[in-house]
């Protein structure tokens, strides 16, 4: 008995020192950052800007791997099952918190299967339509969309994505239903909106800032409580006729459960450093997005935020009665 307890203790000590040693060398090879949406979309943009800056700080290359589909749940599942050694990470958005309520069967536990690294940014969404959509403001847009609801196609990045959540809230606020068209990310959805194959979409400004500024799409309002600094002329949806319609899309970084804490802490420190970078801040601001404060780019802040968002959105989604299998 004493012999086996000694053996167990020795094993624990060895594991501890192995984790310390691997954390000291970390990172000694390329890190893969999984983005659970297609290339060219908002999560991809946020992840690539952050990866570039963190890679310089950590003196290694961070490559982005796009694992799109099923509203971000395929990419998240891939990271939940990855080796917890700090070389496979995830950048996901608010969908990590809405998935438990939206999916009847989820292949992972958003809290239990991950080590939080820190929050990355807060971003606005814009309600946009194809350039020739016959409405000049939100009120006209709503009237037209309701009168033609059988023909209205709303693009999204699949059940559980931020665009899906926003579209669902819109249909619930208007008490109507439109035809939804899912993509592997809103990057490819934007191509179809520009081509006029779909009518409208609610998506992060990180994906549509340049198209809005160039007049290639029509923007009817922002989902934020206050106007977005980069778009002072675009009203909030609340101002434009949908009171209290607010959604902030936040992104955050996670490692698989069991990743040694010293590695998680190293990543979190690098993330905080990256978010101080003036070039990164400017790129985010141009896209209508904001890096989080240093305090929020920490495991503790993300753990608390994720739990609060799961608690906030669960009842709203259940009330709207939307599920995916």
- Decide: is 75 part of the binding site for ligand ASP (CB under 6 A): no
Long-range contacts (CB closer than 8 Å, 24 or more residues apart) made by 47-56? 47/91, 47/251, 49/280, 49/283, 49/284, 50/91, 50/120, 50/253, 50/271, 50/274, 50/275, 50/280, 53/273, 53/274, 53/277, 53/279, 53/280, 54/267, 54/270, 54/271, 54/273, 54/274, 55/31
- Decide: is 42 part of the binding site for ligand ASP (CB under 6 A): yes
Segment 253 to 292, residues that bind ligand ASP, using CB under 6 A: none
Q: Which residue has the tokens 């989604």?
A: 317
- Decide: is 110 part of the binding site for ligand ASP (CB under 6 A): no
- Decide: is 67 part of the binding site for ligand ASP (CB under 6 A): no
Candidates 19, 27, 43, 154; binder of ligand ASP (CB under 6 A) is 43
Contact (CB, 8 A) for 258 and 19: no
Tell the burial category of 12 from Cβ atoms under 10 Å away from its Cβ (0-12, 13-18, 19+): exposed
Quick one: which segment of 12-20, 34-42, 284-292, 315-323 binds ligand ASP (CB under 6 A)?
Answer: 34-42
User: Which residue in 318, 10, 218, 251 sits closest to 116, CA to CA?
Assistant: 251
Distance of alpha carbon 288 from alpha carbon 307, whole angstroms = 26
Candidates 161, 208, 223, 236; binder of ligand ASP (CB under 6 A) is 161
- Decide: is 128 part of the binding site for ligand ASP (CB under 6 A): no
Quick one: which segment of 74-82, 103-111, 133-141, 154-162 binds ligand ASP (CB under 6 A)?
Answer: 154-162
Candidates 26, 31, 33, 41; binder of ligand ASP (CB under 6 A) is 41
- Decide: is 69 part of the binding site for ligand ASP (CB under 6 A): no
- Decide: is 118 part of the binding site for ligand ASP (CB under 6 A): no
- Decide: is 66 part of the binding site for ligand ASP (CB under 6 A): no
The residues binding ligand ASP (CB under 6 A) are: 37-38, 41-44, 93, 95, 156-157, 161-163, 185-187, 203-204, 207
């Amino acid at each position: 008995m004493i012999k086996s307890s000694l053996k167990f203790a020795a094993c624990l000590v060895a594991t501890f020192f192995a984790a310390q040693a691997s954390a000291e060398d970390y990172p000694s090879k390329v890190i893969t950052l999984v983005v659970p949406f297609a290339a060219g979309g908002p999560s991809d943009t946020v992840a690539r800007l952050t990866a570039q800056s963190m890679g310089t700080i950590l003196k290694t290359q961070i490559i982005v791997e796009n694992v799109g589909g099923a509203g971000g749940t395929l990419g998240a599942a891939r990271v939940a099952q990855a080796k917890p050694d700090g070389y496979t990470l995830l950048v996901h958005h608010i969908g990590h918190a809405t998935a438990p309520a939206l999916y009847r069967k989820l292949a992972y536990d958003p809290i239990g299967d991950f080590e939080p690294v820190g929050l990355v940014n807060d971003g606005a969404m814009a309600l946009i339509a194809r350039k020739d959509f016959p409405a000049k403001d939100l009120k006209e847009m709503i009237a037209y969309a309701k009168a033609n609801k059988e023909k209205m196609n709303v693009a999204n990045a699949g059940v559980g994505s931020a665009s899906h959540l926003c579209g669902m809230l819109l249909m619930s606020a208007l008490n109507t239903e439109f035809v939804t068209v899912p993509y592997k990310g809103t990057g490819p959805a934007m191509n179809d909106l520009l081509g006029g194959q779909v009518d409208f979409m609610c998506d992060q400004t990180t994906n549509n800032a340049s198209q809005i500024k160039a007049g290639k799409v029509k923007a009817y309002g922002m989902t934020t409580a206050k106007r977005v600094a980069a778009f002072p002329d675009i009203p909030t949806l609340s101002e434009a006729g949908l009171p209290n319609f607010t959604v902030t899309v936040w992104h955050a970084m996670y490692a698989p459960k069991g990743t040694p804490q010293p590695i998680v802490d190293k990543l979190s420190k690098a993330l905080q450093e990256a978010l101080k970078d003036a070039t990164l801040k400017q790129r985010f601001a141009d896209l209508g997005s904001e890096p989080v404060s240093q305090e929020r780019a920490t495991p503790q802040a993300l753990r608390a935020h994720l739990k609060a968002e799961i608690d906030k959105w669960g009842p709203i989604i259940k009330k709207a009665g939307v599920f995916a299998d």
